[in-house]
Structure 1
Amino acid sequence: MTFTTRFAPSPTGPLHLGHACSALLAHDMACAAGGRFVLRIEDTDTSRARPQWEELIYKDLAWLGLTWEEPVLRQSDQLELYHEALTQLAQRGLIFPCSCRRRDIRAALSAPQEGAKLAPGIYPGTCRNRPMSDRKPGDALRLNMGAAVQSLDMPGFTELGAAHAGQHQLDPDRLIIEIGDAVLGRIELETVSYVLASVVDDAAQGITCIIRGKDLFQITFLQVLLQGLLNLPTPDYHHHHLIRDDQGKRLAKRDDARAIAKYRAEGATPQDIRQMVGL
């Protein structure tokens, strides 16, 4: 099987040094393995995605010396595939509509809870018994985590998750307590979560290894679970160190001072960027 990895930014702001670390590391690993490097544009956040940010992504990556396959997959062109995945989960009774707003969830979490104690901020299951026939515009579509882990009670699944996601076991209790009923999308077709869309796309593009920051480590377990539910292959995952600012805070797109384009404009070289991110 050909080693295939990807870099999948969202066109919602400038790429910063953290993005450079992920993209360079993925590209380096693909080149070293004689494999494939795929660029994907995750543009389903229509309220924030902008064409000028997408164009800047191409300019930044080309300046860093990266090459990628054409055509570039854009998630806005894949909505029907995500809808099919949601439908498949719904037909198995694994998702439910949820009308809770943040204030509703905060109120429910402040009330005494029965059963296992959930991690802070985890959805308490208020709408879990609502059938899909009761869905309304604006409803979130949540994964019934308890039903999902029960449906994957198969030999070897826990070991599979541990092998691909990291050194921690894919523990069903931890999935319920620490991740809970994750939002996978909304009733409106154009709205889908990152975790589901990327699982579908990784399978469609034949991704065998995913390189990304340690901040997404826990999400990996949810994605391995979704791959099992949808009968999709599970790639290997490599979680690299995070690039932080001078105060030790993880970089975000609002950190324009760390934007690749800004360094380029100030006369930095691609090798300077590699040194800055520890490569």
Structure 2
Amino acid sequence: MIGPESSAAPPPPGAGRFAPSPSGDLHLGNLRTAALAWLWARSSGRPFVLRVDDVDAERSSAAAADRQLGDLAALGVTGDGPVARQSATLDRYAAAVDSLARRGLVYECYCSRRDIREASRAPHAVPGRYPGTCRDLGEGERERRRAELAAAGRVPALRLRADCDRWSVREGFATADEEGRPVVDGVYRGPVDDMVVRRGGAAAQVTGREYAYNLAVVVDDALAGVGQVVRGRDLLSSAPRQAYLAHLLGLPEVGYVHVPLVLGPTGRRLAKRDGAVTLREMPGRDVGEQAREVLRWVVSTLRLGEAAEGVTRLEELVPVFGPGCVPPEDVVWRGSAAR
């Protein structure tokens, strides 16, 4: 039985990374987080990895990936070595699932999204957590459910058979998740459940290689030698699931840094309805000028004092950057200034 805590030893140093999903253009919140991830890595002497998280082929666009990488380069967020793409490493995800399956750590799930929503309304259900409906079905019942799905032209998903309900990770900035669960002495202890590792769906569209994001990102981070993950605080609750899965796969532990978000004027996460929210919608005659406008805005959201004066390139901030430069509050975008 695996306990609810990770190892007490700090994770070894490793690369930083930024890994957007190419479903559209990066908005200012994404770009700020990318700049912070790059600065966190460079200021601590770490290499930096850029990756295109395109494991979900339905939602990914090669054109969007190219625009994202172009915007990042214009901002000064560059990686060491070639850009990795999840779509090129599907065999590694298959090997990870096979490793879990050989140890009895995955099971078929026949539930639809509606089934899961309805189960989550039960009096003792935990919101957002899979209730374990298919976890302990007998083989006869599995055969029946499998046949029902096949008749409907669908195939089951594969879920992880978790043997703990909480896992701890090292957190380098956030003080609590969005549900109010605290970070105590740099450790966040959050929920783990029977997460999907390979998606199911319509048989005509499923190839058996529809691997879940949580699985792919864990495998890819280990492959790239990532030791530091800087991302938005809305993803803090995902960290224990990913760290637990990495533990089961025998992969190195990483350290997490979850930074404040950029919100729109209404207090909700930044969206197209909030006006010019991408680099290419900023003032400027070309991408270079627009990137400098984004950089000026990013600098204005940080606590840099006199060091902020005259900055024209992201790399100029490396010698003066540290966690104390990042205010703990979310940033509100009001169309021309951050508050």
Work out whether the TM-score is over 0.5.
Answer: yes
Distance 2:210 2:91 in 1: 11
User: How far does residue 129 in structure 1 lie from its aligned partner after superposition?
Assistant: 2.1
Structure 2 distance, partners of 1:131, 1:199, is 31
Distance across 1 between alignment mates of 2:54 and 2:269: 22
- Of residues 80-89 and 102-111 in structure 1, the stretch that sits farther from structure 2 once superposed is 102-111
**Is the CA contact 2:271–2:277 (under 8 Å) kept in the aligned structure 1?**
no
1:236-266 Cα distance to aligned partner (Å, 9 max, x none): 1111111111111123578673112212657
Mark the CA change 1:231 to 1:20 in structure 2 (over 3 Å): closer, same or farther.
Answer: same
Could you tell me which runs of 5 or more consecutive residues in structure 1 were left unpaired when the two chains were aligned: 153-157
Does the C-alpha gap of structure 1 residues 104 and 68 become closer, same or farther in structure 2, counting only changes over 3 Å? Answer: same
Aligned Cα root-mean-square deviation (Å): 2.8
Matched-pair contact (CA < 8 Å) for 2:119–2:125: no
Q: Which moved more, 1:236-245 or 1:66-75?
A: 66-75
Question: What is residue 139 of structure 1 aligned with on the other side?
Answer: 156
- Kindly tell me: are residues 131 and 65 of structure 1, through their superposed partners in 2, closer, same or farther at Cα, counting changes over 3 Å? farther
Instruction: Report what 1:262 is aligned to.
Output: 281
Partner amino acid for 2:130?
A: Y
Name the counterpart of 1:212: 231
TM-score between the two structures when normalised by the length of structure 2:
0.68
In the alignment, the residues of structure 2 paired with residue 192 and residue 120 of structure 1 have an alpha-carbon distance, to the nearest angstrom, of: 24
Q: Distance in 2 between matches of 1:254 and 1:229?
A: 42
How does 1:53-202 map onto structure 2 within 5 Å? 53-111=64-122, 117-130=124-137, 138-145=155-162, 147=163, 149=164, 161-163=168-170, 167-168=183-184, 175=191, 179-186=192-199, 188-202=207-221
**Unpaired segments of 5 or more residues in structure 2?**
1-11, 175-182, 201-206, 303-325, 327-339
Is 1:209–1:236's contact at 8 Å kept on the other side of the alignment?
Answer: yes
Q: Deviation of residue 140 (structure 1)?
A: 1.4
SS in structure 2 of the partner of residue 90 of structure 1: helix
Contact 1:6–1:37 under 8 Å retained in 2 = yes
What residue in structure 2 maps to residue 223 of structure 1? 242
**In the alignment, structure 1 residue 245 sits paired with structure 2 residue 269:** no
Shift of 1:162: 4.0
SS in 2 for 1:47: helix
Q: One-letter code of the match for 1:118?
A: A
Q: Which residue of 2 aligns with 1:273?
A: 297
Deviations along 1:120-164, whole A, 9 cap, x unmatched?
24222111124798566531111222x3x29x9xxxxx6xx3435
- Choose from 3, 8, 11 the match for 2:22: 11
Aligned-partner Cα distance in 1 for 2:54–2:272 = 15
Distance 1:63 1:46 in 2: 26
- Any idea what the Cα deviations from partners look like across 1:73-102, whole Å, max 9, x if unmatched? 100011111111111111211211111112
Structure (1/2) with the larger helix percentage: 1
Identity rate of aligned residues, in percent? 38
Number of residue equivalences: 260
Instruction: Indicate the structure whose relative CO is greater, using CA pairs within 8 Å and at least 6 residues apart.
Output: 1
